């Protein structure tokens, strides 16, 4: 037995000595011209290896290259398409003898890659990616299948400073992608490995810095990737980013099934500026990808995602910029390219001056038809419930919108939304609108629908109808009227409306209060943003009310009221003279009737005496 060990030991010593002699006598650098010539014959490109080729063959096969460059094809101004500062690979020899590939380490440093597309559409990759024919591909595939490896194991992989510049002269764009660092602790199918990456992307003045840390396991069958932990943080900077800068963070774990393929992420954490949320996400790849999700967020402040400086610049440049085509339809073909079913919730949303809470949205998109139902929110002591349907299956989209507003305090909501302080009270509102076409003109003129509204215990601010009546009568008498608060209180304000061809028609406006009654009808021209109302007002009580004097002599008089103008510049007109003239004629008629009655009584008595 000892003799056998001696023999084996001697053989190993001989092999090692022979290998050492071979390595010391064989210089791969002498074959640089042959390597460059082979690349030239295959691609027409010049491969230059300026640095030394280092190598070893046992116990691992190691190869090291430095200062390598590959030229561009003819017609490109830049001489080099790619440069490499250093590359080293170490592969264990003994496992190869049993059909197992074990790469001890891979190190790649300082790579520059220039991808260029000329104005005529030619790029410097096309000659390297052209296929030599399906027969050769099939032959290579058959050869690869006939000699499979039993296993693949990669040791530590380190990549530093890879710059990719993408220049498209045809489109006039330039991008730069820099892989600052990529480290993979190991790659052994069926075993957990850790990975980290730092990446920078610069395009159109926008810079994105991405840092990723992950722990993964790839199944031995290479069909499933398990994400034990994934954390990605991105910092965005540039003029196109709201407020110039934004930080995003996403974390979670899940599975990627390459057979589907499908993605199933759980316990997702999302941080985007002030917005924080959690949830889950699923993606099933198919002819039409299917997406499912449920995400819950805390407070969404829309101002964090709106570029105020950009909007101000656009406003200042409006006169010099080309006007938007009011007949242009938006391109919604993207809604036909995937299906979605998901839930979004927000504890609070701040948008356009409005503050809403308990926001819930269920969205379903299938075959180009989007249904948002329910869409719920609590706002201003009331609730909003809505259902929205958008059908983008045809080139011109159609839509249906239903809105139900209950118990909302009108004045704070309208003030926050549009700085409109004219109306207060407890508001209720119902509306259904449908139409075809999403261009500005079609939305204004092509929408059709109906609804109703009713307000309780409120006021119309900016006008005091009762005081207007008293002032008008005082002027007719030559007296001066007293100044009072410009507000018309009401116990109820209600009406219904229809919408057609850009015109909102309200036939039954009613305002009731202990002192005043108003009945009216009118229209609102959506296209011209113009209100035209005709109403009849009537004082019905003798109490002071509204801060004015007693109105015994005005009770029962119906006075025409004209309301017209734009919403921010309404004009009110009372025809007091016609009202008083009508009232006087009515009283004279009554006096005539009384005189005739008295005369008849006297005549009757006289004739009876006779």
pLDDT in tens, 358-404: 999 999 999 999 999 989 999 999 999 999 999 998 888 999 999 99
Q: Is the pLDDT of residue 74 over 70?
A: yes
Task: State the pLDDT confidence band at 483, using cuts at 50, 70 and 90.
Answer: low
Tokens of 27: 């210089």
Q: Are 479 and 472 in contact (CB under 8 A)?
A: no
Average pLDDT over residues 591-604: 49
Lowest model confidence (mean pLDDT) among 208-212, 336-340, 426-430, 512-516: 512-516
List for the chain the helix, strand, coil content (%; round to 5): 25, 50, 25
Q: Is the pLDDT of residue 229 over 70?
A: yes
Which of the pair, 96 or 576, is modelled with greater confidence?
Answer: 96
pLDDT of residue 372: 95
Where exactly are the structural domains of the chain?
16-125+150-188, 198-310, 346-438, 439-574
pLDDT of residue 39: 83
Task: State the pLDDT confidence band at 231, using cuts at 50, 70 and 90.
Answer: very high
Task: State the pLDDT confidence band at 28, using cuts at 50, 70 and 90.
Answer: confident
Tokens of 52: 């030394």
pLDDT of residue 435: 93
> What is the residue whose two structure tokens read 């390459």?
258
CA pseudo-torsion sign 217, 262, 138, 71: negative
pLDDT of residue 26: 59
Q: Is the pLDDT of residue 261 over 80?
A: yes
Q: Over the stretch 283-330, which tens digit does the pLDDT of each residue have?
A: 998 888 999 999 999 999 887 777 655 444 444 444 444 567 888 888
Q: Is the pLDDT of residue 500 over 90?
A: yes
Q: Is the pLDDT of residue 10 over 60?
A: no
Task: State the pLDDT confidence band at 561, using cuts at 50, 70 and 90.
Answer: confident
* Length of the chain (residues): 610
Which of the pair, 132 or 340, is modelled with greater confidence?
Answer: 340
pLDDT of residue 283: 93
Q: Is the pLDDT of residue 266 over 90?
A: yes
pLDDT of residue 472: 57
Task: State the pLDDT confidence band at 558, using cuts at 50, 70 and 90.
Answer: confident
Tokens of 466: 């009762």
Task: State the pLDDT confidence band at 30, using cuts at 50, 70 and 90.
Answer: confident
Q: Are 364 and 353 in contact (CB under 8 A)?
A: no
The rounded distance, in Å, linking the Cα atoms of 226 and 213 is 14
Q: In whole angstroms, how far apart are CA 437 and each of 122, 433, 504, 510?
A: 41, 13, 19, 34
Tokens of 12: 């190993």
pLDDT of residue 460: 80
Q: Over the stretch 235-254, which tens digit does the pLDDT of each residue have?
A: 988 887 777 788 889 999 99
Percentage of the chain with pLDDT > 70?
76
Q: Is the pLDDT of residue 166 over 60?
A: yes
Tokens of 307: 């570029």
pLDDT of residue 514: 79
Which of the pair, 353 or 221, is modelled with greater confidence?
Answer: 221
Percentage of the chain with pLDDT > 90?
32
The rounded distance, in Å, linking the Cα atoms of 146 and 351 is 63
Task: State the pLDDT confidence band at 553, using cuts at 50, 70 and 90.
Answer: low
pLDDT of residue 365: 95
Average pLDDT over residues 527-542: 81
Task: State the pLDDT confidence band at 470, using cuts at 50, 70 and 90.
Answer: low
pLDDT of residue 610: 33
β-bridge pairing 245-257 and 262-272: antiparallel
302: alpha, beta or left? (left if phi > 0; alpha if psi -120 to 50)? alpha
pLDDT of residue 218: 86
Task: State the pLDDT confidence band at 554, using cuts at 50, 70 and 90.
Answer: low
Average pLDDT over residues 437-451: 89
pLDDT of residue 474: 58
Can you say how many angstroms the Cα of residue 71 is from the centroid of all Cα atoms in its chain? 43
Mean pLDDT, the chain, whole residue set: 79
């Amino acid at each position: 037995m000892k003799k056998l060990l001696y023999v084996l030991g001697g053989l190993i010593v001989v092999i090692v000595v022979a290998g050492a002699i071979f390595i010391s006598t064989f210089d791969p650098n002498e074959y640089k011209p042959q390597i460059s010539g082979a690349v030239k014959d295959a691609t027409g490109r010049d491969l230059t290896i300026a640095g030394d080729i280092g190598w070893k063959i046992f116990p691992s096969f190691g190869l090291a290259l430095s200062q390598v460059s590959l030229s561009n094809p003819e017609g490109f101004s830049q001489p080099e398409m790619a440069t490499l500062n250093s590359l080293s690979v170490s592969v264990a020899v003994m496992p190869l003898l049993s059909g197992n590939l074990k790469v001890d380490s891979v190190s790649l440093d300082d790579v520059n890659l220039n991808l260029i597309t000329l104005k005529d559409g030619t790029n410097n990759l096309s000659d390297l990616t052209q296929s030599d024919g399906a027969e050769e591909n099939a032959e290579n595939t058959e050869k690869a299948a006939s000699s499979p490896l039993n296993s693949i194991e990669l040791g530590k992989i380190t990549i530093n400073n890879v710059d990719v510049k993408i220049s498209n002269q045809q489109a006039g764009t330039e991008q730069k992608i820099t892989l600052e660092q990529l480290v993979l602790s190991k790659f052994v199918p069926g075993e957990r490995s850790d990975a980290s990456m730092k990446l920078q992307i610069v395009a159109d003045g926008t810079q994105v810095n991405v840092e990723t840390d992950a722990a993964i396991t790839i199944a031995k069958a290479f069909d499933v990737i398990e994400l034990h932990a994934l954390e990605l943080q991105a910092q965005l900077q540039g003029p196109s980013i709201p407020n110039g800068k934004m930080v995003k963070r996403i974390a979670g774990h899940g599975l990627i099934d390459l057979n589907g393929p499908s993605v199933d992420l759980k316990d997702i954490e999302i941080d985007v500026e002030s917005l924080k949320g959690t949830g889950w996400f699923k993606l099933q790849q198919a002819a039409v990808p299917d997406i499912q999700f449920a995400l819950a967020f805390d407070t969404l402040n829309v101002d964090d995602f709106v570029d105020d400086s950009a909007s101000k610049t656009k406003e200042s440049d409006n006169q010099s910029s080309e006007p938007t085509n009011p007949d242009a339809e938006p391109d919604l073909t993207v809604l036909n390219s995937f299906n979605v079913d998901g839930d979004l919730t927000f504890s609070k949303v701040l948008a356009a001056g409005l503050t809403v809470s308990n926001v819930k949205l269920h969205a379903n998109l299938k075959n180009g038809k989007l249904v948002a139902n329910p869409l719920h929110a609590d706002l201003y002591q009331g609730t909003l419930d809505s259902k929205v349907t958008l059908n983008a299956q045809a080139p011109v989209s159609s839509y249906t919108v239903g809105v139900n507003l209950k118990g909302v305090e009108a004045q704070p909501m309208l003030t926050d939304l549009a700085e409109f302080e004219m109306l207060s009270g407890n508001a209720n509102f119902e509306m259904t609108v449908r139409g075809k076409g999403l261009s500005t003109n079609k939305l204004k003129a092509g929408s059709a629908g109906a609804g109703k509204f009713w307000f309780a215990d409120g006021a119309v601010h900016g006008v005091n109808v009762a005081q207007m009546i008293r002032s008008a009568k005082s002027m007719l008498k030559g007296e001066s009227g007293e100044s009072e608060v410009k507000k018309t209180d009401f116990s109820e304000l209600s009406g219904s409306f229809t919408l057609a061809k850009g015109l909102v028609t309200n036939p039954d406006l009613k305002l009731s209060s202990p002192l005043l009654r108003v009945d009216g009808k009118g229209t609102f021209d959506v296209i011209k943003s113009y209100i035209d109302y005709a109403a009849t007002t009537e004082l019905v009580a003798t109490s002071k009310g509204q801060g004015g004097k007693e109105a015994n002599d005005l009770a029962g008089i119906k006075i025409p009221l004209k309301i017209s103008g734009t919403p921010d510049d309404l004009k009110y007109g009372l025809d007091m003279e016609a009202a008083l003239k009508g009232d006087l004629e009515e009283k004279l008629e009554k006096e005539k009737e009384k005189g005739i009655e008295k005369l008849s009584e006297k005549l009757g008595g006289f004739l009876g005496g006779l």
